[in-house]
Amino acid sequence: MIGFLLHLILTAALILLVANLVRGIEVGGWGTALLAALILGLVNAVVRPLMVFLTFPLTIVTLGLFLFVINALMLLLVSALVPGMRVQGFGPALVGSFLLTVLNMLIAFFLGI
């Protein structure tokens, strides 16, 4: 449970960081970021696997690069579900999801979460 809460708080902090770095992504504050992190986790657990399965041939043809598109679509979905979070288009969603993925991987590597 502690690991889940730590990961949730770190993801919320990363969402706030990405919102400050990427023009076109806006997050209202910590409460919005925490809700967005929770919804992003749920979306990545439920919707993303279905999308990956349905687009598997396209992912193979693009050598896995289409997964970045799926991640951007998941970020757009989260912004549609979370009040106080806005992603203004596919470009910011693509850059934001890429940054979020890389930063999450770095934290997981260094903290072992």
Question: Domain spans of the chain?
Answer: 2-111
Contact 44, 67 (CB under 8 A): no
Please work out, in degrees rounded to the nearest 5, the angle formed at the alpha carbon of residue 73 by the alpha carbons of 70 and 78: 130
Burial pattern 77-107, b for ≥16 Cβ within 10 A else e, equals bbbeebeebebeeeebbbbbbbbbeebeeeb
Q: Output the pLDDT for position 108.
A: 86
Summarised one tens digit per residue, pLDDT across range 60-88 is 999 999 999 999 999 999 999 999 999 99
Chain-centroid distance of CA 16 in Å reads 11
Summarised one tens digit per residue, pLDDT across range 37-63 is 999 999 999 999 999 999 999 999 999
Helices 66-81 and 90-111, packing angle to 10 deg:
100
Amino acid in the structure at residue 107: I
